[in-house]
């Protein structure tokens, strides 16, 4: 069974190439971008402006193929793909929580953006702490490495 998706908009950011990009929103604090939502979907943006943060689902459109073990940016050991956020995945869907500054017509102004310019947007969901913020977290192999996440940038290993 195949599932077919189609872009509902385009994400614009200062990052025109993978190399040098922040690897997650935490390393992209203050980086601004915009989202152009296609005309036929704009009515669905009503009421979204009241949310400070939104979850973007998007297509890792430069990813081709995948390996089930990868060496993540934050590590020097191969890790199981699903224990990482690497873009080359069986279903190349990216997820970022970004700050929503304002909406003008079909344009969303966002901040803390770790996404490549021109990325096709698939979905927008409101970020809701009761749904999305569990407590008593453990983060496995990332436990040490995550302290350094703000200082890391992408190289071209996931091209």
Nearer to a second copy, 20 or 80 (CB): 80
Least distance from C-beta 14 to a second copy, angstroms?
19
Length of the chain: 159
Closer CB to a second copy, 30 or 129, in the complex: 129
- Rounded CA-CA distance 133/74 in Å is 23
Q: Which residues bind a second copy (CB under 8 A)?
A: 1-8, 24-26, 41, 43-53, 55, 57, 59, 68-69, 79-85, 89-91, 93, 95, 97, 99, 112, 120, 122-134, 136-143, 146, 149-150
Q: How far is the CB of 23 from a second copy (least distance, A)?
A: 9
Contact 69, 78 (CB under 8 A): yes
In the complex, what is the shortest distance from the CB of residue 69 to a second copy, in angstroms, rounded to a whole number?
7
Q: Which residues contact 81 (CB under 8 A, 6 or more apart)?
A: 66, 67, 68, 69, 70, 88, 89
Specify the residue, 117 or 127, whose C-beta has the smaller distance to a second copy.
127
Cα R_g (the chain), whole angstroms = 16
Residue 89 CB, nearest distance to a second copy (Å)?
Answer: 6
**With respect to a second copy, which residue has the nearer C-beta, 69 or 155?**
69
Cβ burial 5-26 (10 Å sphere, 16+ → b, else e) = eeebbbbbbebeebeebbbbbe
């Amino acid at each position: 069974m195949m599932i077919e998706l189609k872009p509902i908009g385009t994400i614009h950011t200062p990052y025109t190439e993978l190399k040098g990009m922040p690897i997650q929103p935490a390393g992209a604090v203050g980086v601004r971008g915009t989202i152009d939502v296609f005309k036929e979907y704009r009515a669905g943006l009503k009421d979204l402006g009241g949310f400070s943060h939104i979850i973007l689902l998007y297509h890792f459109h430069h990813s081709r193929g995948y390996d089930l073990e990868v060496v993540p940016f934050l590590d020097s050991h191969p890790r199981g793909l699903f224990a990482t956020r690497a873009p080359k995945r069986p279903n190349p869907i990216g997820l970022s929580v970004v700050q929503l500054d304002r909406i003008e017509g079909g344009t969303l102004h966002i901040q803390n953006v770790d996404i490549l310019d021109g990325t096709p947007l698939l979905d927008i969901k409101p970020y809701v702490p009761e749904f999305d913020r569990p407590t008593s977290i453990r983060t496995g192999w990332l436990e040490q490495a995550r302290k350094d996440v703000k200082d890391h940038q992408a190289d071209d290993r996931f091209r």
